[in-house]
Amino acid sequence: MPLALRFAAASHVGRVRSKNDDSGYAGTYFAVVADGMGGHVGGDVASASTVLDLVHLDRPHHEGAETILPDEIQTANTILNELVNHNPKLQGMGTTVTALLLTDETFQFSHIGDSRAYRLKDGVFEQISKDHTFVQRLVDEGRIRPEEAETHPHKNVLMRVLGDSDASPELDIEQIPVAPGERWLLCSDGLNACVSEAVVERIVRGTKDLQEATDDLVQVTLANGAPDNVTVVLFDVVEESEDDQALNTLLDNARAAGDDHAPDTGQILIAASGSDVEASAALIRHQMATRPHKLVGAAQLATESGLIPIVTQRSGERRAAELLTHKSEQARQEQLAAIESAEAAQLAKSRPRSEKVHGRLAGVGPSNILGDGTIASTRRWGLPRWLVPAFLAFMTVVMVVITWFAYSWTQTQYYVGNYSGKVAIFKGVSQELGPLKLSRLDTPTDIPLDVLPAYTQQRITNALPARDLEHAQEIVGELLITARQSCPVLAPATGSTSENETATTTVPSYCTDSGSIESPTLESPTPTPGSSSSPASGSSNSSGSSGATGSSSSAAASPTSSSNSTSTSSPAAPSPTGGNS
C-alpha cells in the first residue's frame, strides 16, 4: 500500500525578534523547515524563497528520486545568489534547510544548518539530523561534552548554510526506509534552544492530535522566553487512503490535460514579467491550492499578503515560466495529434494518394510547430546534384595544393643530424607523416658522434636545425674542431719509413685536413732557396718529428729531402728538462 503524510505546522515570531525569518511547509509527500539567518538583512527572503522553490516536489511520483531533492536545494541556492546579484542589500543572507521527500517507502533526506529532524519509531525518540555548527564540531572532536554545547557562547555559529557565501554548499543526504506509524518532527533552532529534548519528546509522544502537539510546542517555547523565531512541522506516516489515491489520479489527469481553472495566458504573462506582485502571489496560491498543505512563517507572508515582494515576484516568475512551457508543450501535442488524425484519414481513402499525403506531412514534427500552435514552413529548397561532387573535388584539389606547398617548403630547410653514428647534413625537416619522410641525406661526414660531448650528441640526435646549407656547414665545422680535440698525439718518428707509414694510417680520417666534408686540403708553403727550415711533407707526423728534434741539421738539408731522412740524420733530441736550446 502506498504511503502518505498526515501533517500539521505552526510558526511564531517569538518574544524578541521584530520579524519572522523562519519558513515551513508540510504536505502529503513533502515537508521542509528553513531558518533564515537572524541578524542579517534578508533572512526572511532566504527562507521564504527556498521553501517556495521546493514545494512543487509535493507529489507522489519522481524520476531520479534519490537526487531530485538535493538538486532542487542546490537550484534554490543558485536563486538566492541571483537575488543578491540583483539587490546587493541582501548580501550576507542565508538559510538552513531540513527537508524530507516521501518516495514509495523511502524518505529522501537533505539537511544543512542547525534546524533539526527528530523521529519517533518503535517507541524510540531520536535526533536524525546533525547540527552544522561550530559547537557541534567541538563535540565531535571531543573538546567539549554534549551537555556543555547547550550553554556554549558560540552555539549559534553556523558552519554550513545556503546563501551567497557558497555557490555549491555541501548537504547531508540520506535515504531512510520508512514504515507506517512513524512520527517525525522538523523544527528551527528556536525550539531546542528554549525547550529541552525531554519535554519535546513528551509532547510529541503523548499528544495524539498533530495540530494540538505543534501548538503546545510553540506555547512552551513562548513560555520559556522565545528569544528567536520558532517553527514546528509535525507529521505521521500513514498508508495512503482511497481519497488520497483518487485525488492523485485527478491531479495527474488535470496536469496531463491542462487545468481549465488555471489563470489565463494574459495573467501568466503578467506574473512572468514580475511587474505585478499580486498577480505573482495569485499564481503561487493557485498552484499550491491544488494539493492539501500547510504553509507557515515568512513563506506564508510572501504568498498570502505579499509582504515580501521580492520573493513573491521571483517565485511567481518561475511558476509562470513553468506554466507557459506546459501550455506551449500542450499546444504542440494537440497539433501533432491533429496532424496524425489527418494523415490517417487520407490513408484510409486511397492507397496511392496516401503516399502523397505522407510525403507532404512527413516533415511536420515537434520542431516545426511554433509556440502559438502554427506549423512552420517545411518547404525544402533542392540543390543541383552535381554541386556536392564538384565541391568535394574542389576541396580535394585544395588539399593537394596545400600539401605540395608544405612539402616544398620542407625541402628548403636543413639540419644536422645522426646518420649511422656519424654527423651528417640533412635536407628537409626531421619529421614523418606516416610512411612519408620529410628529409633526406644531403652531406655525410666522418665525424663520429661518440667523440663529441654528451650534450652535443643529444642535440644532434634530436636534429640541430640550420638556417640554410651554408649555416649547416658552419655547424659541422665547429663540430669538427670539437672532435679533433680527442685526436691522438703521435710520438716523434725514430723508426724506418715503413713504421712511420703504418703510424700514419692509424690516425682517424677526421683528424687530418682531408677528413672534413669537402674541405680544401691545407696547402704547404713553397720552399725558397736558403730557407732555414724544411717544408712540411703534408703529414702531421712530419711536423711533429721536426718539432721534437729541434736540431739545426734540418736547416742544412736539401729542400727536396724527405722528413724521414731528415729525422735520421739529425742528432738526438734534447731532454725536455735540459738547459740547451
Q: What is the pLDDT of residue 372?
A: 43
Band (307; pLDDT cuts 50, 70, 90): low
Q: What is the pLDDT of residue 429?
A: 87
| Exposed / middle / buried, residue 166 (Cβ in 10 Å: 0-12, 13-18, 19+) | middle
Phi, then psi, of 222 in degrees rounded to 5:
-65, -40
Q: What is the pLDDT of residue 354?
A: 42
* Domain annotation covers residue 452: yes
* Domain annotation covers residue 542: no
Rg over CA atoms, the chain: 48
Residue 387: what residue type?
A: L
Here the CATH number for the domain that contains residue 130 is: 3.60.40.10
- In this structure, how many other beta carbons lie within 10 angstroms of the beta carbon of residue 502? 11
For residues 298 and 382, the model is more confident at 298
- In this structure, how many other beta carbons lie within 10 angstroms of the beta carbon of residue 505? 7
**Which one of 240, 266, 294 terminates a domain?**
240
Alpha helices in 55-145 (DSSP H): 65-86, 134-140
For residues 118 and 292, the model is more confident at 118
Alpha helices in 277-386 (DSSP H): 277-288, 298-300, 309-349, 351-361
Q: What is the pLDDT of residue 433?
A: 75
For residues 347 and 456, the model is more confident at 456
Q: What is the DSSP letter of 369?
A: B
Here the CATH number for the domain that contains residue 460 is: 3.30.70
**Which one of 427, 459, 484 terminates a domain?**
484
Q: What is the pLDDT of residue 580?
A: 39
* Out of 107-116, 314-323, 454-463, least confident range: 314-323
Residue 69, C-alpha cell as written in the block: 531533492
Q: Which of 74, 124, 129 is nearest to 100 (CA)?
A: 129
pTM of the model: 0.54
* Domain annotation covers residue 295: no
Residue 75: what residue type?
A: T
Q: Which of 89, 71, 80, 96 is nearest to 167 (CA)?
A: 80
Q: What is the pLDDT of residue 139?
A: 93
Write out the residue range of the structural domain in which residue 448 sits: 410-484
Q: What is the DSSP letter of 530?
A: T
- In this structure, how many other beta carbons lie within 10 angstroms of the beta carbon of residue 31? 28
Mean per-residue pLDDT of the chain? 76
Q: What sign does the dihedral 432-437-440-441 (CA atoms) show? A: positive
d(CA 14, CA 8): 19
* Domain annotation covers residue 186: yes
Instruction: Decide if pLDDT at 264 tops 70.
Output: no
Contacts of 371 (CB under 8 A, 6+ apart): 328, 331
Q: Which of 57, 63, 62 is nearest to 76 (CA)?
A: 57
For residues 359 and 388, the model is more confident at 388
Contacts of 252 (CB under 8 A, 6+ apart): none
What is the enclosing helix (H) or strand (E) of 95?
Answer: strand 94-95
Instruction: Decide if pLDDT at 325 tops 60.
Output: no
3-state helix, strand, coil in the chain (%, to 5): 45, 20, 35
Query: DSSP 3-state assignment of 157?
Result: coil
Q: What is the pLDDT of residue 483?
A: 86
For residues 355 and 4, the model is more confident at 4
* Domain annotation covers residue 137: yes
* Domain annotation covers residue 371: no
* Domain annotation covers residue 545: no
d(CA 445, CA 54): 81
Query: DSSP 3-state assignment of 396?
Result: helix
**Which one of 433, 466, 484 terminates a domain?**
484
* Domain annotation covers residue 480: yes
Q: What angle do CA 181, 182, 187 make, to 5 degrees?
A: 145
Domain count of the fold of the chain: 2
Residue 171, C-alpha cell as written in the block: 548537504
- CB of 83 within 8 A of CB of 45? yes
